[in-house]
Structure 1
């Protein structure tokens, strides 16, 4: 709270300095014009003093002009108020001298002193005590001018009346200054409050946008869940028939005697199971709960890697596959789901490298154990991912593929699968060089 008050006060002082600078410049120009326009008064009242007064007025106008030129400089900005008081005092000194060389206490020029005092209180943003001090100095000049006149204070009546009027002017100017200060501060407070309200409104708008995005996302997930439920019902029956047929075929002596045929049947069985798990994962993703663990069994990650390579063999034609795995890759989890993650990563890498026409495309899979978890990395030498897209690759429905080539759900579902295994799937990339996806799986005890 104290920091906010200090910051607000600092802002107010900065704004007040700029306001004082602008007012002082405008006032100085006005003073130059009025000082020189007083030549008409000299001609009408004291024509015999016209030349001497003209020279005095010209000299004072030049001094005020010099201060005006100094105000916009760094020095002038730092000392706006002292310089303003300096050019204000110059006309008062000139008027006091004119009073002394003309009629003393009864000189009509005392009105000029009042005019400047009023200008300080009304037109210039001076401080209260500065205004009072300026009025006191002005009255001192008037007293000295009267005493310097040959007749001195012989005309006491005019001296007393003029002194009272100057005192009235000082009082009125002080009141004006006080009210101006309060009004300017209140105006600044209103501007600050308006700025704060605008910030609050912007924050509310951002929150509303986030809520709207979350609602749209929930609607998308609900649609996916409905679609997945229908797919489960419509697809599971024929898939089960196929699985039963494959199981029967695998028991045939011919299949058992032919290793190649038996491997094809195993791949077909895994493919059918993959279809079941894809629909199941889609439904799980739509209604997933953050932090939910995967209920799984021990399996060899190396075996899952082999299966995923076989199932994506048609997409990986021409791509060099290498691996670097530890001797023990026994992990705990959902083997079919992890195969799905690997298939998605391999398919995305192959598509990106084929689209970019990568020379000698390659995918390297490596793994190592750390803190009881197997950390897996799938890295390709493809075109990489643009930095603005890297943070969005796991967003549902985000895809850089052409329309009709993908829904943008593969990496989102993969992220959810790894999340259920209490791990994290994250992406790294260097544009034009490589892309790597890394995730971790728990060790099977």
Structure 2
């Protein structure tokens, strides 16, 4: 038997036990009512014994009530089948005693025994073996009641007929219970399979949503790449003309004699060069050459870091970014994708610090070589990540931002990017003090 089938049977037994508990409680109350209502039958059939029968019915009802009360305890819940079997036999024993005390095999009470057997098979979710045992116990009680009757068995043919009839009822009830039990298990298995299919469908939908989000992100990046490539072409020409004009102006004697004018031209020159860098960074970030893979292009990590800082300049306003890098940062991979990872980490850190009102906001980027991989640590002094959220930060669409402030895909995509480079992106945090993200990249040969 496979592990899944064992688990299925275990779950079925657990659910069946709860259902049997409910049936036992409801059935017990019903039996108590029927037993007490039987006093009217005693009055009609056996008025002389009515007083004794009433006392017996009350005692049986009280005993069944105590048995039902025990089902509210932990011990009672664990042994619901045994307790139910016990209190179900009580009415059978009472009816058998009434048969003994009245007319033996001539008593009409034998019909109550057969009805109870069928009721147990239909209403109570017993196993077929328990139902058969209950029926055989009823046969034995009826046999004893008739044989021990003071006048003995007066009509052997009728006695044997009714004894066989009760036995057939027991057998038929157990057969019905067997197939009913099979049907209940098949229904439970189908319900379980439907639930599993629904779970699989939910996971597929979640994966499709994640893929859709990633495709959307890639489309955005491609659009930015196309736009930035055009901007580079269109902007570079006027920028170059401006730079040439600034160089010529700086050679004029009037400029050389005026420190303030010379300083202004230097500032203008740096501004134009910054425009060139920004457009170039946009192109590097968003445009991937055809055929490029995640591990066949060498690039300097420090250059990717500089690009990401420049592209995140708007979010990093008021944030001090410090670096601690080795002399050699040449790695293999997709420079554009790694820039995207760094931009996402910087943006998240800046937003968290701004939202928490962090004073003296800082982001520190450290890297060191271990086992031919560059291990990068990006740490901020922001509010940290709550412990209950730390394990979920890489889940697609999980975000603590306000509605409309983000899809919750940034870290999920970043995790996939680092994984594609053979590394792992993971988070550390001290709630209320700091957050750090770590990842590693392969060394370029």
Structure 2 length-normalised TM: 0.73
2:106 is equivalent to residue 106 of structure 1: yes
TM-superposed CA distance for 1:283, in Å, is: 2.4
> Residue in 1 aligned with 2:173?
173
Question: Distance in 2 between the 1:422 and 1:256 partners?
Answer: 55
Q: Aligned-pair RMSD on alpha carbons?
A: 5.3
Provide, for residues 214-245 of structure 1, a one-character-per-residue CA deviation record: whole Å limited to 9, x for no partner: 23223322321232122122201111212333
Distance verdict in 2 for CA 1:268–1:373, change over 3 Å: farther
Per mean C-alpha deviation after superposition, the further-off stretch among 287-296 and 29-38 is: 287-296
Question: Distance in 2 between the 1:10 and 1:390 partners?
Answer: 31
Question: Distance in 1 between the 2:301 and 2:33 partners?
Answer: 96
Q: State the SS of the aligned residue for 2:244.
A: helix
Question: Distance in 2 between the 1:422 and 1:98 partners?
Answer: 83
Of 289, 294, 303, 1:291 maps to 294
Per mean C-alpha deviation after superposition, the further-off stretch among 253-262 and 141-150 is: 253-262
Question: Distance in 2 between the 1:43 and 1:2 partners?
Answer: 59
TM-superposed CA distance for 1:181, in Å, is: 0.7
Question: Distance in 1 between the 2:252 and 2:425 partners?
Answer: 42
TM-superposed CA distance for 1:348, in Å, is: 10
Alpha-carbon contact 1:131-1:177 (below 8 Å) kept: yes
Alpha-carbon contact 1:127-1:177 (below 8 Å) kept: yes
Question: Distance in 2 between the 1:300 and 1:286 partners?
Answer: 15
Q: Structure 2 regions of 5+ residues with no counterpart?
A: 405-409
Provide, for residues 42-73 of structure 1, a one-character-per-residue CA deviation record: whole Å limited to 9, x for no partner: 11111111111111111111111111111222
> Residue in 1 aligned with 2:80?
80
Residues matched between the structures, number: 425
Distance verdict in 2 for CA 1:26–1:223, change over 3 Å: same
Distance verdict in 2 for CA 1:276–1:159, change over 3 Å: same
2:144 is equivalent to residue 144 of structure 1: yes
Question: Distance in 1 between the 2:101 and 2:174 partners?
Answer: 30
Alpha-carbon contact 2:298-2:444 (below 8 Å) kept: no
TM-superposed CA distance for 1:77, in Å, is: 0.8
Question: Distance in 1 between the 2:329 and 2:300 partners?
Answer: 8
TM-superposed CA distance for 1:211, in Å, is: 2.7
> Residue in 2 aligned with 1:30?
30
Question: Distance in 2 between the 1:256 and 1:300 partners?
Answer: 34
2:235 is equivalent to residue 232 of structure 1: no
TM-superposed CA distance for 1:284, in Å, is: 2.7
Question: Distance in 1 between the 2:86 and 2:116 partners?
Answer: 13
Question: Distance in 1 between the 2:348 and 2:71 partners?
Answer: 67
Distance verdict in 2 for CA 1:40–1:323, change over 3 Å: closer
Question: Distance in 1 between the 2:163 and 2:195 partners?
Answer: 48
Structure label with greater radius of gyration: 1
Question: Distance in 1 between the 2:430 and 2:57 partners?
Answer: 75
TM-superposed CA distance for 1:251, in Å, is: 6.3
Q: State the SS of the aligned residue for 2:125.
A: coil
Question: Distance in 1 between the 2:133 and 2:344 partners?
Answer: 83
Question: Distance in 1 between the 2:35 and 2:363 partners?
Answer: 88
TM-superposed CA distance for 1:199, in Å, is: 0.8
Q: Structure 1 regions of 5+ residues with no counterpart?
A: 404-409
TM-superposed CA distance for 1:81, in Å, is: 0.9
Structure 1 length-normalised TM: 0.73
Question: Distance in 2 between the 1:208 and 1:343 partners?
Answer: 25
Question: Distance in 2 between the 1:103 and 1:24 partners?
Answer: 32
Alpha-carbon contact 2:64-2:87 (below 8 Å) kept: yes
